[in-house]
Structure formats: C-alpha cells, structure tokens
Amino acid sequence: MERRFDGTVALVTGAATGMGQATAARLAAEGATVAVNHLPGQDPGDTLARISDVDGQGFAFPADMRDPDQVTAMVRGVAERAGRLDYVVSNAGINPDLTWDNTSIEDFNKLFETNVRGTWVVVTEGAKQMIREGHGGAICCVSSISAHVGAPYQTAYCGTKGAISMLAKALACNLGEHGIRVNAVEPGWTITPMSAPILDNPPVLKYYEERIPLHRGAQPEELAAAITFLLSGDASYVNAATLLVDGGFIVNAEL
C-alpha cells in the first residue's frame, strides 16, 4: 500500500466504528498518525487494534460533538500531542428513525447540534489550527446521499446532510487561500452499525439490493478509500467538491 500520509497527523471524528474506524485504519496504514475521536465512555479499542494491525500510529481522544468546548479542546489537544494537524475527517453523526411529525424540537436540536454544528466546529477549529501552524491541509466532511433525496424516516436528518454538503463547498471558498482544501463524500447505503436495521428488515433490504445497480451496500473500507483519496495529494486540485459514493443508487432511487 502507498504511504501518502507519512509524517502527517489526521483527526477522524466518530472513529470508534463504521466508516470512521475504516478511515482511521486506512490513514494509519498509509503513514499518518491518527487521532481516533470517540464519545466519552465509548470504547475505541477496536479501532486502535486495527491501527496496530497495520503497524500504524494512533491514539484515542474523547469528545462529544454536541459540546463545542470539548471539540475545540480536542483539536488543540490533538495538535499538542502529535505536534501538528494536517487533516480533519468530520464523520461523527447520528441518524435516528423519525418521521417528520414525530420529530420533537429536542430531536431536531440533537440532530443539528451533532451533525451540523459538530461538523462546523471541528472543521473550522481544525482549519484555524492548520493556519496557526503555517501550512496547508485537507478536510473531508462525511455527508450523505440524503443531501439530495428525501426519506420518510429521515426528514430532519436529510436537512443536516444538505447543510454539511453546502458547508464543505462554502468553506472551501474561504480556506483555499490558506492551502486548505475542503470536500465532502456522500455515501449511500453503507454496511455499518448505523445502518444495521436494514439487514434485519427483509423488504427494505430487498428494495436497496434491487435499486442499487451494484446490488449491494458499500463496505466501510470503500468509503475510506474515497475519503483518503480526497485528502491525498492525488486530489490536489479537487476542492469544494461533493463525491457521491452510492453504487449508482441515486439514479435509480424512489425514496
């Protein structure tokens, strides 16, 4: 495997499981020192073990994305511990099944505070850290196919993902002069703990497998490959882009 990230430091939020875990392991395998963000009280051991398995370097750093002070302290703490910060992957998010008319104000606030404000704080604080250090970098926000299509049990969630995709584009316009690129990936169905209920619902599983031209969900490692591409020098002229990684689902979806 190439080592495109030797000597660099990356922060991956929501890295205890799923896409965040796969991305942390991929970055470590390619030479980055990876800060593995996880919720306070959550065990990041599986991710750290995967990093060790690829002879990588990483360390855990707890912070709740709903708490701006914790997120700000995390960014500074990662840079202090590792000596610098080159990359941020804003992956942490929640996706509860909620119809529009069963979404309380508390539900709505929790979704937007976690998914949107959490992204805003970690990305902007990460960019400020890179600027203080006097070098460029790259940021990848994890959005979703739900930035483009509606779903009956994801109404408010869709709003958060539309916001994340647009924030990535808007921030890219501001940060390019500092040598910092900002892009977003928009996954479709990816087989992670968050999407596990799909596998337990035969009619829903059948719908996804029939509608996705590749007839399967993505593995987290496939999203990690897309994310690390966007961070890498191979994507040095890719900026303000949103990369849909959905197996072609969007052209055949009837949500």
Residues recognised as catalytic: 144, 157, 161
Q: Where are the beta strands (DSSP E) in the chain?
A: 9-12, 33-38, 57-62, 87-90, 137-142, 180-187, 242-245
- Quote the distance between the C-alpha of residue 104 and its chain's center: 26
Closest CA to 187 of 239, 144, 238: 144
Closest CA to 35 of 113, 92, 93, 87: 87
Closest CA to 198 of 187, 209, 186, 184: 209
b or e along 114-152 (b: 16 or more beta carbons within 10 Å of the residue's beta carbon)? bbbbbbbbbbbbbbbbbbeeeeebbbbbbbbbbbbbeee
Rounded Cα distance between 207 and 197, Å, is 14
CA 97-183-86 angle, to 5 degrees, is: 110
Closest CA to 12 of 111, 30, 199: 30
Rounded Cα distance between 81 and 73, Å, is 12
- Report DSSP letters for 152-209, one per residue: TTBHHHHHHHHHHHHHHHHHHHHHGGGTEEEEEEEE-SB-SGGGHHHHT-HHHHHHHH
